Structure formats: C-alpha cells, structure tokens
Chains A and B, each alone.
Chain A
C-alpha cells in the first residue's frame, strides 16, 4: 500500500509529492492527462519568485523531474472516485483501484463553458478558452471576448494588440475585474464594449462565422467575428470526490489554509480549494501544506 496518493500532477500535486518524498513517505501521483496542469498554457511566467521569466512548460517539467528524482511514482489514469475505509482510502480510476493511507486531492479546475449550442464542435475552429494560446490565429481578424472578470479584461487587452477589432461582451454593465485594466481597454480604438448582453447563438459553417448577442431589452445584434474567447470563470474538478469533501455552491472544496477536509486523511490542495488567491505560488504553497499535514496524520 502507498502512504500517500496525490490526485493531480499540477503545481500543487507535484509540490506535495516533493514534500511527501522528502519526509520519506511513498507517493503515487495519479494524473488524467499529463503533468503540469493549466500552467503549461502560460508562455511566460513572470510572477514566481526566483524565476523572472520561465515558460509554463519548463516550470512544469522541472517540478515533475524534481518529484520523480525524489522517488514519486506517476501513473497516468483519471481518478473517478474515492472511498474512505477508515485507516485506508481507495482511489478508483477507470481501470484500477489504488489503496493509500492518505489522499491529497489536487485536481485543479477547468474552463467554464458558455453553454451555447454548438460550442463543443467549434472549439479549435474559432472558439477558444485561452487568448495567449490561440490569439496568434486571429491576427488582423475580428474577435469577441466574453466575460467580466480579470481574465476577460486581460484577454481583451492581449487580443487588442493582435486582432483588428475586439468586442468585449459582458452580461452586466460593470466589471468585476480591475478598474485599471478596464480603463486601458477604454483607451483602445479597436475595442468595443457590448454590455448587458449575452451570447445567444453561434453561427458557423466549418468554422465560426459570427456570434449573435442579445441585450436585456431583447435586442439582437450579430457580431461578425471569426474568434470567440470564452473567459467566464473556471470550474473546480471536485465532483468525483464530493461524497468525502464539503463543496461550496461554486464547487470549490471547503478547507482552511491547513488543507484539511472533513474526512480524516483526505486533504485538498491548489486551485480546487476555496481561497482568495488562485495563483501558481499559492498552488505550490498548498502542496507543501497538504503534504506536511498528511505526513503529520500518518505519523500520529
């Protein structure tokens, strides 16, 4: 039996693996896709201490290699369930079951979808959830960004430098995101605010051709855009473990800074935990805390 199973090989899970191995506990990391988590989408990290510039890919690879060199074992399987047997826990994947004395859930979060018909089919054919990843495909074209938070504002600013015209579609008339960013957007000639409006239809043939938006009065307007960047928040990936951890209304795991859940021996770390600041540095911090708490639990 493994001492600690870590679900998710993003920055939180990988850091937890490093701390747990350095405390001489056996570690199995289960990951659905590939190590690194969403940070691999970031071309240039500029706010992590020590590294003034590092790509998300290089960051993830370094932490992965560090965890591996310390003896963490990796299996690329998606955890679909978790069972509490008292002193042990069973993590269920599509094909296997793994037993451990403690489990750290570090599954992170995924992009929230708009929920408009045809969205899934148009991903990669005009619809994107990452402006810095896909913006280059829309050089000199017209695009729309949907959302009202910091991500939407940053995406619109980024795209204003790349695209010909950027519409920012937001369902309210005030932004949740930072006022400084909104002010910068207002200064851009090629940015148009489409407020109190929601996307109601996607028009496409082989790729996105235009987007229909409807305002609060029911007025319909068609934006001729070839790209639609969806920035309407993220969904924490906790659903498969909801029987053992408390979730808030948005789906985040309710746990304090000590990363403890209501189930003894089960810990949460990273973006799927409810907290004020979801950043790379707080994800790695969570990993350290959760692993330390797990080691404390095992040694008690």
Chain B
C-alpha cells in the first residue's frame, strides 16, 4: 500500500473505522523533519500489509490537529480500533515506529 492522504472529510472512514491499525502522520509541507520522515512512512506502507499509513496535512486540516492536541510535527499517532493507542513526535528512525506497532 501507499500512504493515504486523509482530511476532515474522510478521517472517520479511513482512520476511525479502519479494520487495521493506522499510523497517521500529521505533517506540513514547510516542515523539514516531516519531509525527512516521509520515506520511512512510505517504506512501512509498502512493506507491511498489517498496517495502514495515512497522512494528514495540518495546514489544510487545522481542526484535526487541534482535536488531537498537536503542537509539534511530525506527529505520528497510532490508532487502534478508532482510538489513539500511542504517538511519536519528531523525526524518529523506522524502528521507533515499528516498536510502537508492537
């Protein structure tokens, strides 16, 4: 799979109601560490069929960022059964995100 763009309209369908655990990357285009992290997320999306990877642009979806109390990006939130299970802030290596998935 590839990284799925998510916005306020499809957030519920793609993340809250997803069958698989979702890694949702809250990012912005102007954020350097976010751009650095993107290849890692793409690699996870490509390699793992048991996880869905989504990306939420916080400039286009500020209400979602606010709803999840986000004040630093990149912020990758792990959703399981529609609820936040864990989150990772800042540029992290792939293992850190894999560890979060358990």
Contact = CB atoms under 8 A, between A and B. Distances in A.
B71 interface: yes
B22 interface: no
Contacts, number: 65
Interface residues of B, number: 22
Contacts of A57: 32, 35-36
B7 to A, nearest CB: 18
B88 to A, nearest CB: 9
B72 A124 contact: yes
A34 B33 CA distance: 9
Nearest to B65: A137
Majority SS of interface residues in chain B?
Answer: loop
Contact of A125 (B32, B71, B92): B71
Query: What is the size category of the interface that chain A forms with chain B?
Result: 20 to 34
Interface of B: 28, 30-33, 35-37, 59, 65, 69-73, 75, 87, 89-93
Name the 7 nearest CB pairs between A and B, nearest first: A124-B89, A57-B32, A40-B32, A124-B72, A207-B69, A137-B71, A34-B36
21 contacts: A33-B92, A33-B93, A34-B36, A36-B36, A41-B33, A43-B32, A55-B32, A57-B32, A57-B35, A60-B36, A123-B89, A124-B70, A124-B71, A124-B87, A124-B90, A125-B69, A133-B72, A134-B71, A137-B71, A137-B72, A207-B71
Given A124-B87, A124-B90, A125-B71, 8 more contacts: A34-B91, A42-B32, A57-B32, A60-B32, A125-B70, A137-B71, A138-B71, A227-B71
